[in-house]
Chain A
């Protein structure tokens, strides 16, 4: 019976994930191509602004920017849609029993799938800017996995808070902006790390993930690898534990607030 319940939940989850992906670009002409085009265009803009105008001489700068941008985008979109997921599905929640955990999980998963597809662009730029692959690329799976953990944990916490405090949607937009500036997406972290404010970067799990990912893919080495990975992993696991606890504790009250 539990086996059946699990399979059924997996089916519901897959349907919800499919819905997220299908509806994301349904009304647009280019559709899913936007998942590839948008990061490309943003990278072009950021390269021009921070590369040319701010005189950043790294020839691989566009790849550097894109890697940070894609990871940050997933975190931002995954957590934001998880935050709104319960409210967005309120009509279904009021009609039939579905384990509510599936709603934020499906949001994070469908965004993750779109993120993985957008990594194709990353591959394309690596070829253009002559980034040579080493076996370290396989190690990139670790920061990608940590990224999923961190986003899931934050998404779960936010989805619970978002039901009771609508304000969170606006607050999170601002916090995401802080996270973006503290993730060294379009600037090199060396200067910040060497000043007294390096801790801002090091405490940001997203920076750890981005840094590790860049080390593996672009530079083909891993100096800070293990410390950052461990921190990101622990952050991810703890945030998921907290998120699950908060969610389970409050899920029966959701329906009274939507």
Chain B
């Protein structure tokens, strides 16, 4: 990690292009973030077991550090690809940045409006209709009532769910839920977009539509963080990349060299 930093400073001092980048605003600062989970929490769900464990001094935790000392910075307009094998901590990192988790150690500083697109098909109330869920989810994402009133028709149109918009969500297919979630989350133009493997779900038609929408957002200089297993996607869409392995940050830097490094890891 130290070597990567030294390298970055060198390139910053020597290249004119890098100097121009330094004038951009820092929109995300992840500082020494660590996330601890207690795997045995599931067993201590009842009062009786908790008291017994307390008395027997058996309250030892099954510690699992999902993230360890992850640090990096992103400037406005950066597009970060997060690479790593399954269980490396990618989704956890996204959730810490999206403020869903509070890091056990370290901190995250963000600037601007954040649009998290994590588990797009989840988070809706199954008894509520599509229309009602748009308002509820929109409110949670930070939209005002006026904004939702203005954009509700656009959202319904983008998701192509006109016929089903008054049907409770428990009757939707998973694809319909994803379309709805994506439509609501992208109707606004956020400063920072966080995507958790959402580019790989849905049918071909939807994937094309979502890719076009994302490309439109990218042209507006939105900062993007996204998790992908597809190295080609990261190469084409991102200018920066990070590799996570068992919670630790292996590398952070320009997407081309990081992608090469990741490919070497996969092939070895």
Contact = CB atoms under 8 A, between A and B. Distances in A.
Interface stretch (A92-100, A121-129, A183-191, A240-248): A92-100
B86 interface: no
Interface of A: 7-8, 11-12, 15-16, 19, 22-23, 26, 91-98, 165-168, 171, 252, 255-257
Contacts of B124: 91
Contact of A166 (B46, B100, B125): B46
Contacts of B132: 19, 22
Nearest to A161: B47
Interface string B25-56: 00000000000011001000111101000000
A221 B46 CA distance: 48
Contacts of A255: 100-101
Given A19-B125, A94-B119, A96-B116, A165 B45 contact: yes
A167 B46 contact: yes
B165 interface: no
B122 interface: yes
B139 A15 contact: yes
A256 B40 CA distance: 11
Interface in B50-94: 50
Nearest to B119: A95
B46 A12 contact: no
B122 A91 contact: yes
Nearest to B118: A95
A257 B39 CA distance: 10
Given A94-B122, A96-B98, A255-B101, A12 B140 contact: yes
B135 A15 contact: yes
10 contacts: A7-B144, A8-B139, A16-B136, A19-B125, A22-B128, A94-B118, A94-B122, A96-B137, A167-B48, A256-B37
Nearest to A168: B47
Contacts of B139: 8, 11-12, 15
